[in-house]
Amino acid sequence: MFDGAALATGAWVNGRKVGRHEGGYARFRLDVTDALLVGRNTIAVRVDNSKVPQIAPLGGDFTVFGGLYRPVSLVSTDDVHIDMMDHGGPGVYVSTPHIDAKKARIRARTLVTNDGSQTERLHVVNSIRDAQGREVAQCHESVTVKAGGTVSVIAETHLPDPHLWNGVSDPYLYSVVTTVTDARGRERDRIETPLGVRSIEITADHGLLLNGRPYAVHGVVFFNSERPGRGTAITDREVSADMQVIADLGATGVRFVHFQHPQRAYREADRRGLLVWTEVPLNGVIDAGEAFQRNVEQQMRELIAQNFNHPSVAVWGLGNEIYAENPDVLRVIKALQGVAAAADPSRPTVYAHCCQADDAPKAMISDVGAYNRYFGWYPDQKGTLGSWARSFHAQFPHRPFAIGEYGAGGSIRDQESDPAPPVTTSAWHPEQFQALYHERNWREIKDLLYLWGSFVWVAFDVASDGRAEGDRNGINDKGLVTYDREVKKDAYFWYQANWSDRPMLHLADSRHRYRTSSKTQVKVYTNTAKVHLQVNGQDLGDASVREHIALWPDVSLRPGLNDVLVTAEGLKDQAAWIYDPASPFATAPTGRGTAVEVESP
């Protein structure tokens, strides 16, 4: 069993080819039974991440890492077992067709395989356990499975007084333990799957409804867990650490782009109550051939089978920003829509559209819409995020939509007071401009209750070999956190102040160490009511907090070192700024751009 190998994988056992898989991000399994010998066996694996026309992705603003970057396991089963070959899925799929205050209907579909030589009479039991492991409901069915056959077994029951999975406020999880026993009472297989009892509906007027109530979905795009020097070859612990950073932000949703993520990421979302948009790697470019369409359909089936049981998954993504407009593009997206609707009619589909007409035919195929918009960053996108969203809603009042991406570059090495918009392709991406961009854009959209979600691009800086901008090549620096995960940028704390219920305080602009002006503003992001300021031990009083910002607009600095300390409700943050009008570290940047349009607060 391969948890992930990019992009094309071939495997041999004792010199005999046992299978090939095309696609770099989903789990897949190969049945090697017939190739095994008693005693020592030799296993060979070849992985190739070359770009070939039949394997998605063919485009995208990211580095396609290669190799065996996720675990590989050797799994043995009884002749009678829960199916292992259903697109890498668990073989047990649990849904909740109906939920009300008194009960929830639970349906379990189990694929049972008999690899033996005789017909078997089998009993399938699904035991629903609460968070303490106590059985609270059960459903079971008996079935006859012929030799060499696989049978789908459906069983239903009612769960009384269900404890709902209710997002970040109460992400309650049951589990379902499925056992298969034979006519003599012997247990032949057992598997445990998560169960979150919840309903999701997406509307055009009230956004996303979780368990029948409007639920504000705001969060980040999570590209992948990566680390310098290792790319995507990371551990479960590192995935959990990344998800902790996102949870600490106060996010309620996360978009997993642009491909299937490791199972640990979905499990973390389940237990933290984060709603997930997850998608196949159909990005930027398609190939018109039938082989490519078969490949993306395969990857969609894998995505759904492997993540069907995660209550965090709210929508299935059909793709992102396909540039071409032609019948082949429509054919591929429509095919994926059909695959998703057949595999999981309980969840809506979404396509992330950009850079063409809002009502382009490819943008209207999915059940709900989403738009990647970078007003205020890329100069070719004119307008503001808020005015665009209001205009779209007025023009298409019955179309649910989200903001799939918005963001701006920001480097912790680039520091500038009162920055003008930078040239996006230049080496100068001041951290201060990124923070201002997000201040403006969040204010514009935070009260638009018809949005079913909004997602900042991106949680962490992303490896992108094709980029040559910001403070270093090969990195998309729009992250709220640096690529190495060591530094949270100012913009991170802006969102934390707005989204988190946990008291927080952050002194903005703290890395702007060298100052050439004796006057400066002091700005603090916080969710407290007021903040106190000291500079060089001198009390400068309290500032009331307005829209999560405390501001002192005109603070004097003395020549040399200045100690700045802000406090509120037992919290503190501080910085050391050096005022030197001749400082060689405060040279004028290159790469300034022109003014961008913003809405008045």
CA atoms within 13 A on the CB side of 320: 27
The whole-angstrom separation of Cα 307 and Cα 287 is 27
pLDDT at 595: 35
Whole-number percent of the chain with pLDDT over 90: 96
Domain annotation covers residue 228: yes
Quick one: pLDDT band at residue 224, thresholds 50, 70, 90? confident
Is 407 found in the same domain as 467? yes
Structure token digits, residue 388: 């665009």
Average pLDDT over residues 343-351: 99
Q: Which of 128, 163, 195 is the last residue of a domain?
A: 195
Is 182 found in the same domain as 281? no
pLDDT at 326 over 90: yes
Q: Give the model confidence (pLDDT) of 135-167 as tens digits.
A: 999 999 999 999 999 999 999 999 999 999 999
Structural domain for 116, as ranges? 80-195
The whole-angstrom separation of Cα 183 and Cα 235 is 42
The whole-angstrom separation of Cα 258 and Cα 249 is 21
Domain annotation covers residue 50: no
pLDDT at 586 over 80: no
Is 230 found in the same domain as 117? no
pLDDT at 516: 93
Provide the CATH number for the domain around residue 352: 3.20.20.80
In degrees, rounded to 5, the angle at the alpha carbon of residue 260 between the alpha carbons of residues 258 and 266 is: 120
This prediction's pTM: 0.96
Across the strands, what pairs with 319? Answer: 351
Whose CA is closest to 490, among 588, 405, 414? 414
Is 409 found in the same domain as 262? yes
The whole-angstrom separation of Cα 453 and Cα 455 is 7
Quick one: pLDDT band at residue 591, thresholds 50, 70, 90? low
Structure token digits, residue 472: 């270093």
Domain annotation covers residue 87: yes
Whole-number percent of the chain with pLDDT over 70: 97
How far is CA 382 from its chain centroid?
27
Q: Give the model confidence (pLDDT) of 4-34 as tens digits.
A: 999 999 999 999 999 999 999 999 999 999 9
pLDDT at 288 over 80: yes
Is 436 found in the same domain as 313? yes
Quick one: pLDDT band at residue 583, thresholds 50, 70, 90? confident
Average pLDDT over residues 94-116: 97
pLDDT at 85: 98
Is 153 found in the same domain as 91? yes
Is 222 found in the same domain as 118? no
Q: Is 534 exposed, middle or buried (0-12, 13-18, 19+ CB in 10 A)?
A: middle
Q: Give the model confidence (pLDDT) of 362-408 as tens digits.
A: 999 999 999 999 999 999 888 999 999 999 999 999 999 999 999 99
Average pLDDT over residues 559-579: 98
Q: Which of 163, 195, 227 is the last residue of a domain?
A: 195
3-state helix, strand, coil in the chain (%, to 5): 15, 40, 45
- Report yes or no: 277 and 528 within 8 Å, Cβ to Cβ: no
Is 385 found in the same domain as 256? yes
pLDDT at 601 over 50: no
Quick one: pLDDT band at residue 125, thresholds 50, 70, 90? very high
pLDDT at 417: 92
pLDDT at 598: 35
The whole-angstrom separation of Cα 396 and Cα 378 is 25
pLDDT at 526 over 50: yes
pLDDT at 588 over 50: no
Average pLDDT over residues 288-301: 99
Report residue 585: phi and psi, to 5°.
-90, 0
Domain annotation covers residue 541: no
Q: Give the model confidence (pLDDT) of 304-315 as tens digits.
A: 999 999 999 999
Average pLDDT, the chain: 96
Domain annotation covers residue 38: no
Domain annotation covers residue 592: no
Quick one: pLDDT band at residue 70, thresholds 50, 70, 90? very high
**3-state secondary structure (DSSP) of residue 251:** coil
Q: Which of 140, 161, 195 is the last residue of a domain?
A: 195
Structure token digits, residue 246: 């996102």
151 sits in which H/E element = strand 150-160
Domain annotation covers residue 312: yes
How far is CA 86 from its chain centroid?
24
Domain annotation covers residue 27: no
Q: Is 132 exposed, middle or buried (0-12, 13-18, 19+ CB in 10 A)?
A: exposed
Q: Give the model confidence (pLDDT) of 264-280 as tens digits.
A: 999 999 999 999 999 99
Q: Give the model confidence (pLDDT) of 433-470 as tens digits.
A: 999 999 999 999 999 999 999 999 999 999 999 999 99
Report residue 267: phi and psi, to 5°.
-65, -40
Is 139 found in the same domain as 104? yes
- Report yes or no: 56 and 281 within 8 Å, Cβ to Cβ: yes
pLDDT at 36: 98
Number of domains in the chain: 2
Provide the CATH number for the domain around residue 102: 2.60.40.10
Structure token digits, residue 380: 């070719």
Is 117 found in the same domain as 227? no
Is 346 found in the same domain as 329? yes
Is 221 found in the same domain as 265? yes
